Amino acid sequence: MNNIVNDDDFKYCMQDLERNYFGARYSYDELLKNEMVPFKFKTIITKYIKDDVDLDVTLESHFYHMTKETYDYRVYKQLRSRIRVSQYKDMNKPEKGFKEKVYTIESLVKIPADEKEKMGIIVRELILSKLALFGFSV
């Protein structure tokens, strides 16, 4: 049963000196319409991601099912993306609760979707380095 009362609590854009953070419940369409999202990231979505991924797809769903063979994976790898997730503390005893973990895009994509389900992985946040975003050529 899903106990989330307000989905908007997981739709946010934040930044610090080094990184941009995006809540994983955002769809690509919502990111494009949000004025807080950096223009360069919007351009990357428009030029490189929207052809392979429907704009109604959420970041959560996209990263959960992403594979190494797709072009969008190479884009996120070039951006040195990191993904914050919640997952079971102990796969054998899911009732023990969740822990938070940050994966590189490469390490998250290596885990098949059925294994992610067994691990109780819930994608929470996309983390982009400002330096990687700056260095990405569009």
CATH of residue 25's domain is 3.30.465.10
Residue 5 covered by a domain: no
Q: With respect to residue 93, please indicate whether it lies within any of the assigned structural domains.
A: yes
- Does the pLDDT at position 8 exceed 90? no
Quick one: pLDDT band at residue 3, thresholds 50, 70, 90? low
Q: Give the domain extent around 92.
A: 11-135
77-118 tens-digit pLDDT: 999 999 999 998 877 776 788 899 999 999 999 999 999 999
- C-alpha to C-alpha distance for 88 and 138, rounded to whole angstroms: 38
Q: Is 23 helix (H, G, I), strand (E, B) or coil?
A: strand
Say how many domains are in the chain. Answer: 1
Q: What are phi and psi of 125, to 5 degrees?
A: -160, 140
- Residue 97 located in a structural domain: yes
pLDDT in tens, 21-65: 999 999 999 999 999 999 999 999 999 999 989 999 999 999 999
The pTM of the full predicted model, rounded to 2 decimals, is 0.88
